[in-house]
Amino acid sequence: MYIGPYRFDVELRELIHIGSEKTSAFKLSNIEFLVLDQLLACRGKVVSTESMCDTFLPEIVTHHDIATAVQNIKRFLGAEHASWIEIIAKQGYLLHINAKDRPILNRALHSVSLKNYLLCLILGIFLIIFLAMNLTTTSDIRLSVPGKVKITGSESILVPIYASDEDRDNYHSRVKEFAQKLAKCDKQKWQRIYVAPSSNGDVLQFVMNNIADDGKACRNLKVTNVNDDWNFMDLAWLKEAGVCE
């Protein structure tokens, strides 16, 4: 989730500023993490100091501890954005609604990690099995792959994967539009790009790899907060996400 140009990374427990050329990160303490997590969960609503303290039980946390955590977070946000977290006298704290979520890159895995290699290998095997079986699975599971989409001006292929024929009907036109956006890249980084939209349209998952390196290099992306809108995937986003150059 985002607070303006700041990304709240739940796994790393960091607040990361991505709006500058040099990314900076603020490692959150346990109190700072839980305070920010509650403010984001209740964006636009006042969160009482008492409710924040209750989340630490049986550990005792004072009002002063909460106030210090909020001040530390506001200090990292800087003068321009600190006002997005407002102190409501005798009530608590409020994260303003104008610090909205935006579609975000939730995870990006690179080839240097054994974990990443195994993930890509498993996903690749999974895809090959379904393609080899003409996408015939058990009576309870069906995937629909309508065919590869050639990315104009390159040797790269876009492969959509849908949970059902209904999802294919709903999203295949957008997949084709996405392929047109990929064609605008100066250089394609991946020979195969698999894209799988969730049925509710709020999540997009990508797996990208190159055939020439036997699958040793791949990238896995998960994008949340899509809200059924793919317009955020412009050329700048594609480069930032490492899809193309």
Please report how many Cα atoms fall inside a 13 Å half-sphere around the Cα of residue 41, on the Cβ side: 10
pTM of the model as a whole: 0.46
pLDDT of residue 142: 44
Return the structure tokens found at 81: 């954005």
Can you tell me which residue has the tokens 């498993």?
122
pLDDT, one tens digit per residue, over 204-213 is: 888 887 765 4
Consecutive H or E run containing 195: strand 192-197
> Worst-scoring range by mean pLDDT, 42-56, 86-100, 136-150?
136-150
Would the pLDDT of 134 be above 50? no
Q: In the chain, pLDDT over 90 holds for what percent of residues?
A: 8
**How are beta strands 92-95 and 6-9 bridged, if at all?**
unpaired
Cβ-contact 95, 217 below 8 angstroms: no
pLDDT of residue 121: 54
Higher pLDDT, 211 or 112: 211
pLDDT of residue 56: 79
How many residues are there in the chain? Answer: 245
Higher pLDDT, 119 or 62: 62
Q: Taking residues 167-195, report their average pLDDT.
A: 87
State whether residue 107 is helix, strand or coil: strand
Q: In the chain, pLDDT over 70 holds for what percent of residues?
A: 74
pLDDT, one tens digit per residue, over 56-109 is: 778 888 999 999 999 999 888 888 888 889 999 888 999 887 665 454 444 333
Cα angle 106, 40, 50; round to 5: 145
